[in-house]
Amino acid sequence: MGLLDEKFLKLGAEYAPGQEVRQDTNEVQLRGEIIAGTPVDFSHGDVDAFEPIPGSLDQFIEGVHIGGKQAYTEYRGSHSIRENIAHKLATFTDSTVHAERNLIITPGTQGALFLAMGSTVARGDKVAIVVPDYFANRKLVEFFDGEIVPIQMDYYSTDTCAGIDLTQLEDAFKAGVKLFLFSNPNNPTGVIYSPAEIRVIAELAQKYGATVIVDELYSRQIFDERIYTHLCAQHIVDPENVITIIGPSKTESLSGYRLGVAFGSAKIIERMEKLQAIVSLRAGGYSQAVLKSWFSEPEGWMAERIAQHQAIRDDLMAKLHAAEGFKVRATEAGSYLFPRLPQLDVTVNDFVKILRLQAAVTVTPGTEFGPQYTDSFRINFSQDHRAAVEAIERIIKVVEGYRK
Amino acid sequence: MGLLDEKFLKLGAEYAPGQEVRQDTNEVQLRGEIIAGTPVDFSHGDVDAFEPIPGSLDQFIEGVHIGGKQAYTEYRGSHSIRENIAHKLATFTDSTVHAERNLIITPGTQGALFLAMGSTVARGDKVAIVVPDYFANRKLVEFFDGEIVPIQMDYYSTDTCAGIDLTQLEDAFKAGVKLFLFSNPNNPTGVIYSPAEIRVIAELAQKYGATVIVDELYSRQIFDERIYTHLCAQHIVDPENVITIIGPSKTESLSGYRLGVAFGSAKIIERMEKLQAIVSLRAGGYSQAVLKSWFSEPEGWMAERIAQHQAIRDDLMAKLHAAEGFKVRATEAGSYLFPRLPQLDVTVNDFVKILRLQAAVTVTPGTEFGPQYTDSFRINFSQDHRAAVEAIERIIKVVEGYRK
């Protein structure tokens, strides 16, 4: 088998969120009746239930009318829009962001993540990633021929921090890891790293001269007034060794415009732009104009959106707690829950297919986030409230038919 | 110097089209007066002079109103839109394109090119590319750690074909090249490969079991009723070894929507989708809806656009022929001219900076398309007709001040 065959074997997308129609369901055996109900796709948020920031489409149309200047921006994005968001991101994260040197606009935060990893991972490099974490993190290290050093996060052991194993992280740095990538809030569990955890991560990175990439995609949607800590605001790590990634695809529901941002290290941003020049040239020009609405939402819009999501979380948690054998930690930020299933006599991949066929509910198998999560699944509960609650009831009902 | 430092040194984007504002012009010495005139940016087409396909924005807005289904498509793109364009591309190229297996929608044709190369180039692979050709081709081979095998194209030796050295191509295949990438019409020269050239390329690829990636971005804008030959329509190469790339960013002026398409080999398309899953997830969902207007332009719209471009070409050619010491071959398709300059006593990179500062004219230095083109520059003449002619006059005037 050739190098590329091996590489692409590791990049399987069949179980990735949004790809469910490509799954082979010929072998799946259903037990019992179809359970009727409004179909719910928990693999991503529902932008029909939670609509984009008001005025986003108007900003886009204005961009189209600006014409050529908006269609063809610098590869790192329109200068005036970088100015606009650099200021807002500096305020949000309490850090310094120069529009000219420290920021790049990308096609989604996925684009930012790809460029950041492509700019920092050389063949054979050891890269520390958290388990569980966003499914693409592992694939990115593999694509760039890095070596994954997993750092365990025991999210059930605590409810005052994320539960990352900091000893393991220091051991990884000692063993030569020069890059640490993690999402905060964590995807898939929805937990937040505590101020103490972030401080230690920053101190270790600084001590060992490592670069840190922090994916803060969901950091604006914080529940229960918890404290959120931006690593870039700690002023512990050399700012040239930190990249922060964020975007308006989740809480703000702008995913259809494919917009993301990376900010931090001027050297890494410069590389990211060079790479973007051969990857996709730039984030869609007209779409970039939509970023003007970001962090400029109407008064109260964000607070209401957070409250609505917290209410959905509470109802789903109550249902799961009442059901036998499920285990779940409450989401602290973002829209993900990562429940553990009771023991089943089918694999989690088959369970996911069964759910879709029998109950019109789409979820993402835990194994996308770490090989050991054969008993967990992720849901994005940014959905119509009532439909989400009914879908969780159907999940619980389906489980009854497949218990071990 | 580390692996990544070396790699990114080769990915310099300072002289790439659209990046001119990032050029260092401190050292540039101007001779003579500023020559006033409407600024013209020949580094890309002007979508204000040649506007997008009528109704494109309406298609986009309709996509936004479709909502979640349009925002979150499969990674390879919306099924119904793939159906729509697969049919149109099959007709256009006289080949078989199954929407389900043979086609992926990407963020621009740049996106398609990146994914196609990432899916076919393994570390150490020998990859044949034409010189001159699109500037990113070389950079892509370098980024994926391939080894470039240049194939010369002597475009001044003939006006009945492109002038590719087919002996050199066969030698390359004999020496182990398994991938050949080229643009047709050629970028930057605007020449078309003859039916005989395409047939021999196809026969050689088939004989040596090589894969061919053909960038046909400008293949709809053919001048003087010339014959254009789609390699995929020859039925010579195993269809699983051919990828064709095309998109609506040029003649159709849809660049601001970032849309491209690759079609052909099911195996390579499948890899490209897996790679897209970690690169940018998908082409912007709402933008994908704009593809409905592609190949469905109003009656006569395309013919008129081609005629307008041919008229601009004719006027620019006349000016360049009348000037002393310029050499240029007439564009056969697309909007590029690649004139050779008289001998100057400044480098082509400095000349490009001088042009911008002294005459408000932006062009791309020949060295972006091959290291030996130190005496050539590329222009995209999809511009306001009168402004383009005046800008060429200014170029000719500036040259006077810097002759050797």
Q: What is the pLDDT of residues B165-209, one digit of tens each?
A: 999 999 999 999 999 999 999 999 999 999 999 999 999 999 999
The answer to whether residues B62 and B183 belong to one domain is yes
Task: Give the separation between CA A53 and CA A51, rounded to whole angstroms.
Answer: 7
Structure-token match 């697309």, residue found: B334
**Domain boundary, last residue among A243, A267, A293:** A293
Structure-token match 């006289």, residue found: B94
B140/A11 Cβ within 8 A:
no
**B 338-397 residues with CB below 8 A of A?**
none
Residue B12: predicted pLDDT: 78
The answer to whether residues A273 and A350 belong to one domain is no
**A 262-321 residues with CB below 8 A of B?**
271, 273-275, 277-287
**Domain-embedded: residue B206:** yes
**Domain-embedded: residue B367:** yes
- Could you say which of B71, B119, B287 has the minimum Cβ distance to residue A255? B71
Q: Which residues, at least 6 apart from B376, have a Cβ–Cβ distance to it below 8 Å?
A: B132, B188, B338, B339, B340, B341, B348, B366, B369
**Domain-embedded: residue B161:** yes
A324: tokens are: 């036998």
Task: Give the separation between CA A191 and CA A330, rounded to whole angstroms.
Answer: 8
Structure-token match 């050239």, residue found: B197
Residue A342: predicted pLDDT: 98
Q: In this structure, how many other beta carbons lie within 10 angstroms of the beta carbon of residue A115?
A: 29
Q: For the segment B9-27, what is each residue's pLDDT rounded down to a tens digit?
A: 888 777 777 777 777 787 8
Q: In this structure, how many other beta carbons lie within 10 angstroms of the beta carbon of residue B314?
A: 13
Q: Assign residue A91 the CATH number of its domain.
A: 3.40.640.10
Question: What letter would DSSP give residue A329?
Answer: P
Å between A31 CA and nearest CA of chain B? 29
Å between B18 CA and nearest CA of chain A? 6
Q: Are strands B361-362 and B336-337 parallel, antiparallel or unpaired?
A: unpaired
Q: For the segment B266-292, what is each residue's pLDDT rounded down to a tens digit?
A: 999 999 999 999 999 999 999 999 999
Q: For the segment A262-320, what is each residue's pLDDT rounded down to a tens digit?
A: 999 999 999 999 999 999 999 999 999 999 999 999 999 999 999 999 999 999 999 99
The answer to whether residues B89 and B203 belong to one domain is yes
**Domain-embedded: residue B3:** no
Beta carbons of A309 and B167 less than 8 angstroms apart: no
Cβ pairs A/B, distance under 8 A: 194
Sign of CA dihedral A74, A79, A80, A86: positive
A143/B275 Cβ within 8 A:
yes
| CA-CA-CA-CA dihedral for A383, A387, A391, A394, to nearest 10 | 180
Q: Which value, in Å, is the radius of gyration of the alpha carbons in chain B? A: 21
Å between B204 CA and nearest CA of chain A? 23
Residue A18: predicted pLDDT: 74
The answer to whether residues B259 and B309 belong to one domain is no
Q: For the segment A245-260, what is each residue's pLDDT rounded down to a tens digit?
A: 999 999 999 999 999 9
Determine which of A11, A20, A258, A275 to mutate to test the interface with B (most B C-beta atoms within 10 Å): A258
Å between B57 CA and nearest CA of chain A? 8
Residue B198: predicted pLDDT: 98
Tell me: pLDDT of A72 over 90.
yes
Partner A contacted by B111 (CB < 8 A): yes
Partner B contacted by A39 (CB < 8 A): no
Q: Which residues of A touch B64 (CB under 8 A)?
A: 57, 60, 256
B114/A280 Cβ within 8 A:
yes
HSE toward the beta carbon, residue B134, CA cutoff 13 A: 23
**Domain-embedded: residue B211:** yes
Residue B245: predicted pLDDT: 98
Residue A11: predicted pLDDT: 85
Instruction: pLDDT band for A6, please (50, 70, 90 cuts).
Output: confident
Residue B10: predicted pLDDT: 84
Identify the domain containing residue B186 by its residue range: 56-293
Residue A1: predicted pLDDT: 66
Determine which of A19, A65, A72 to mutate to test the interface with B (most B C-beta atoms within 10 Å): A72
The answer to whether residues B61 and B197 belong to one domain is yes
Beta carbons of A337 and A379 less than 8 angstroms apart: yes
Beta carbons of A295 and A181 less than 8 angstroms apart: no
Tell me: pLDDT of A38 over 70.
yes
Å between B116 CA and nearest CA of chain A? 11
- Could you say which of B46, B68, B107 has the minimum Cβ distance to residue A48? B68
Å between B259 CA and nearest CA of chain A? 9
- Could you say which of A22, A122, A136 has the minimum Cβ distance to residue B4? A122
Closest to A264 (Cα-Cα) out of A80, A107, A108, A120: A120
**Total of domains in chain A:** 2
Tell me: pLDDT of A15 over 90.
no
Tell me: pLDDT of A79 over 90.
yes
The answer to whether residues A139 and A21 belong to one domain is no
B18/A72 Cβ within 8 A:
yes
Partner B contacted by A5 (CB < 8 A): no
A61/B274 Cβ within 8 A:
no
Q: For the segment B295-329, what is each residue's pLDDT rounded down to a tens digit?
A: 999 999 999 999 999 999 999 999 999 999 999 99
The answer to whether residues A370 and A245 belong to one domain is no
What's the full length of chain B, in residues?
404
Task: Give the separation between CA A124 and CA A176, rounded to whole angstroms.
Answer: 11
The answer to whether residues B357 and B393 belong to one domain is yes
Residue A17: predicted pLDDT: 77
The answer to whether ipTM exceeds 0.90 is yes
Instruction: pLDDT band for A130, please (50, 70, 90 cuts).
Output: very high
Task: Give the separation between CA B232 and CA B74, rounded to whole angstroms.
Answer: 26
Q: Which residues of B touch A2 (CB under 8 A)?
A: 122
**Domain boundary, last residue among B270, B293, B316:** B293
**Domain boundary, last residue among A248, A267, A293:** A293
Partner A contacted by B1 (CB < 8 A): no
Which contiguous run of DSSP H or E holds residue A150? strand A147-152
Residue A58: predicted pLDDT: 98
> Residue A275: helix, strand or coil by DSSP?
helix
Q: Which residues of B touch A119 (CB under 8 A)?
A: 4, 8
The answer to whether residues A338 and A278 belong to one domain is no
- Could you say which of B3, B63, B256 has the minimum Cβ distance to residue A122? B3
Q: Which residues of B touch A287 (CB under 8 A)?
A: 258, 284, 287
Tell me: pLDDT of B3 over 90.
no
Tell me: pLDDT of A23 over 90.
no
Q: Which residues of A touch B245 (CB under 8 A)?
A: none
The answer to whether residues B319 and B222 belong to one domain is no
Task: Give the separation between CA A372 and CA B375, rounded to whole angstroms.
Answer: 60
Q: Assign residue A389 the CATH number of its domain.
A: 3.90.1150.10
Residue B1: predicted pLDDT: 66
Average pLDDT over residues B136-141: 96
A60/B283 Cβ within 8 A:
no
Average pLDDT score over chain B: 96
Beta carbons of A283 and A106 less than 8 angstroms apart: yes
Beta carbons of B244 and B231 less than 8 angstroms apart: yes
Residue B27: predicted pLDDT: 80
Q: For the segment B203-260, what is each residue's pLDDT rounded down to a tens digit?
A: 999 999 999 999 999 999 999 999 999 999 999 999 999 999 999 999 999 999 999 9
Average pLDDT over residues A11-21: 77
Q: Which residues of B touch A111 (CB under 8 A)?
A: 279-280
Beta carbons of A328 and A340 less than 8 angstroms apart: yes
- Could you say which of B70, B136, B280 has the minimum Cβ distance to residue A110? B280
| Residue B207 CA to its chain's centroid (Å) | 27
**Domain-embedded: residue B351:** yes
A161: tokens are: 């921090």
**A 148-207 residues with CB below 8 A of B?**
none
**A 212-271 residues with CB below 8 A of B?**
255-258, 271
Tell me: pLDDT of B402 over 70.
yes
Task: Give the separation between CA B36 and CA B251, rounded to whole angstroms.
Answer: 29
Q: Which residues of B touch A281 (CB under 8 A)?
A: 18, 108, 110, 258
**Domain-embedded: residue B163:** yes
Q: Are strands B260-264 and B242-246 parallel, antiparallel or unpaired?
A: antiparallel
Give me the amino acid identity at B131: V
The answer to whether residues B224 and B88 belong to one domain is yes
The answer to whether residues B180 and B205 belong to one domain is yes
Tell me: pLDDT of A102 over 80.
yes
Closest to A380 (Cα-Cα) out of A17, A35, A39, A38: A17
Which contiguous run of DSSP H or E holds residue A118? helix A108-118
Which contiguous run of DSSP H or E holds residue B40? strand B40-41
